[in-house]
Chains A and B, each alone.
Chain A
Amino acid sequence: KQEVTQIPAALSVPEGENLVLNCSFTDSAIYNLQWFRQDPGKGLTSLLLIQSSQREQTSGRLNASLDKSSGRSTLYIAASQPGDSATYLCAVYNQGGKLIFGQGTELSVKP
């Protein structure tokens, strides 16, 4: 059974810091991996989707990497801003299209 774990569960940093969020999964037979952002009480905003054949994706200050063999992904956020404060969710697409989510990392960026 696929399990997705995100570390740390919560993170507080001062504005301007570069930071890394970690995601690990137990079954390497995945199709895609996706990072989402969720603001309190809101739905999911897709940040980056990495296909299984890719090693990384970049969008603005965000860079996500994928190492299928080791079951790991990282989301790198450069020059963090208070507006980046949210919960970040990692999810993997299993065979059959099931999307398995981690519990998220709650990020707080202090001005």
Chain B
Amino acid sequence: ETGVTQTPRHLVMGMTNKKSLKCEQHLGHNAMYWYKQSAKKPLELMFVYNFKEQTENNSVPSRFSPECPNSSHLFLHLHTLQPEDSALYLCASSQASGGYNEQFFGPGTRLTVL
């Protein structure tokens, strides 16, 4: 256990559905991240939040909408997704968003878009 939890662990949704992924960290960290891992591709950073403020959006389509209500919780709201969005979505947290701060990863949510 890394102190970072993600729910749900598996999600199947249709292209017209709206769903949300949740991440919670119990480490007292101030930075949280969303990553996407598609088959046979390296992990890609999607969003970074530092002290609840979004500091990075890595050209992610607007059908992915992040929300960070406090430093312990991070959501990824999904709507009108495409089948190519099927992937493992990983959340991470760190003390702050600087380069010296180790990131701790959650177990991921396996998303399948039909």
Contact = CB atoms under 8 A, between A and B. Distances in A.
A9 B103 CA distance: 24
Interface stretch (A12-20, A71-79, A95-103): A95-103
Interface in B72-103: 88, 90, 92, 94, 96-103
Interface of B: 2, 6, 31, 33, 40-43, 45, 48, 56, 88, 90, 92, 94, 96-108, 110
Contacts of A99: 33, 43, 45, 92, 103
B106 A31 contact: no
B100 A32 contact: yes
A36 B104 CA distance: 11
Given A4-B42, A101-B43, A103-B42, A42 B108 contact: yes
Mostly helix, strand, loop or mixed at chain B's interface? Answer: loop
B107 A42 contact: yes
Contact of A101 (B40, B42, B102, B104): B42
Contacts of A97: 31, 48, 94, 96-99, 101
B99 A32 contact: yes
Interface in A41-78: 41-44, 46, 49, 51
A34 to B, nearest CB: 7
Interface string A23-46: 000000011101010000111101
Interface of A: 4, 30-32, 34, 36, 41-44, 46, 49, 51, 89, 91, 93-99, 101-104
A94 B48 CA distance: 14
Contacts of A34: 102
A89 B110 CA distance: 19
A110 B42 CA distance: 26
B42 A43 contact: no
Contact of B90 (A44, A46, A51): A44
A46 B99 contact: no
B106 A43 contact: yes
Closest 5 CB pairs of A and B: A31-B99, A43-B107, A44-B105, A43-B108, A101-B43
A98 B45 contact: yes
B43 A89 contact: yes
